Amino acid sequence: MLAFQDYYPENVAHCYGCGRLNGHGHQIKTCWDGDETLTRFQPRPEHTAVPGFVYGGLLASLIDCHGTGTAAAAAYRAENRPMDSEPPLRFVTASLHVDYLKPTPLGPVLEIRGRIKEIKGRKVIVEAEVSAAGVVTARGEIVAVQMPDSFKA
């Protein structure tokens, strides 16, 4: 099964968090898991905050890109369209809020799960949780807006 990010056209596939064409980025892959979305990510040693724990900025980045990917997939679903249909629906972050609940251990694969809170016009609000070894360590809310045409040049 293709991930949402696999459908991104080349002109918008360079994002540090989710762009498949950014060899230095996270290259996250997000898919539907029932009514939720799911990304799995393995932090690397360079993602350390203090020995043994993940840097909070990485968690924010994962929530951010998971949220915009989820927004795109939700918009396609709401329009009953496949993700490779034209015109492409791509989203950018208008607002990102992250609550860090407890330190995230470095080592386990992280799971990021998203849920659609609201779809209204060009705006989608996504709630996301990061968990490590089954323990939720961070929660976030992303307000994603449809990407302006000037970004697609």
State the number of CA atoms in the 13 A half-sphere of 125 facing the CB: 5
Q: Is 99 helix (H, G, I), strand (E, B) or coil?
A: strand
**pLDDT (0 to 100) of residue 17:** 92
CA distance 100 to 69: 21
In this structure, of 5-19, 45-59, 119-133, the range with the lowest mean pLDDT score is 5-19
How crowded is residue 136: how many other Cβ atoms within 10 Å of its Cβ? 14
* Largest pairwise CA distance in the chain: 46
- Do 5 and 14 meet the contact criterion of CB atoms below 8 Å apart? no
Mean pLDDT of 126-147: 97
* Beta-carbon contacts of residue 112 (< 8 Å; ≥ 6 apart): 28, 30, 38, 39, 40, 41, 62, 63, 66, 128, 129, 130
**Is 152's pLDDT higher than 70?**
no
Query: Has residue 140 got a pLDDT over 70?
Result: yes
Q: Rounded distance, CA 92 to CA 99, Å? A: 20
Over residues 112-124, the mean pLDDT reads 97
Query: In degrees, to the nearest 5, what angle opens at C-alpha 126 toward C-alphas 88 and 23?
Result: 60
Q: What's the pTM value of the predicted model, to 2 decimals?
A: 0.94
pLDDT, the chain, mean: 95
Query: Is the distance from CB of 100 to CB of 138 less than 8 angstroms?
Result: yes
Share of the chain above pLDDT 70, in %: 98
Decide if 64 is catalytic. yes
Of 2-6, 43-47, 117-121, 148-152, the range with the lowest mean pLDDT is 148-152
Q: Catalytic one among 33, 35, 64, 84? A: 64
pLDDT confidence tier of residue 1, bands split at 50, 70 and 90: confident
What does the pLDDT read at residue 153?
52
